Amino acid sequence: MSNITVADENIGLDAEVERLAAQPYRRELLPNEDGSWFARIVEFPGCMTEGESPTEAIENLDDAMRSWISVKLEDGESIPPPSTATQYSGKFNVRLTPILHRELAEAAERQNVSLNSFISTSLALHIGHITPTNGTST
């Protein structure tokens, strides 16, 4: 998929910024150790902010996003498309050493689950998608 540029020269910069900001870009919201919140637009390098609450961080991020888009357009740069435009099949191939393959298969067998289920759960735990204590999604 190609990057997005100013769609129509007759549209004002503000209107184009608003059109792009309305696209389904991925927002990431993470707590900081001090109780404040960090937020960023995943597709926009350097587009990040913080807030004292999740709501404030997202509001600040909306402003940062519009500023980021505006600067890029003014500089004649293209805006990356939302990552949600990418379709994922849920399948991918991984090459392992025979030793690691054996150890994973044995660990799955000890837990009485398939190798696929064991690896999927292990990956989800690693990225924080599920919690180790109860196995539920976060």
pLDDT band at 4 (very low <50, low <70, confident <90, very high): low
Task: Please give the pLDDT value at position 10.
Answer: 42
Q: Which tens digits make up the pLDDT trace of 23-59?
A: 999 999 999 999 999 999 999 999 999 999 989 999 9
Are 59 and 99 spatial neighbours (Cβ–Cβ below 8 Å)?
no
**CATH number belonging to the domain at 13-84, selected among 3.40.50.1820, 3.40.50.300, 3.40.50.970, 3.30.160.250:** 3.30.160.250
Q: Could you tell me if residue 112 is left (phi over 0), alpha (psi between -120 and 50 degrees) or otherwise beta?
A: left
Long-range contacts formed by 1-8: CB under 8 A, 24+ apart: 1/81, 1/85, 1/86, 2/81, 3/78, 3/79, 3/80, 3/81, 4/78, 4/79, 4/80, 4/81, 5/78, 5/79, 6/73
Q: What pTM does this model have? A: 0.57
**Whether the predicted pLDDT of 122 surpasses 80:** yes
Mean of per-residue pLDDT scores for the chain: 85
20: tokens are 């792009």
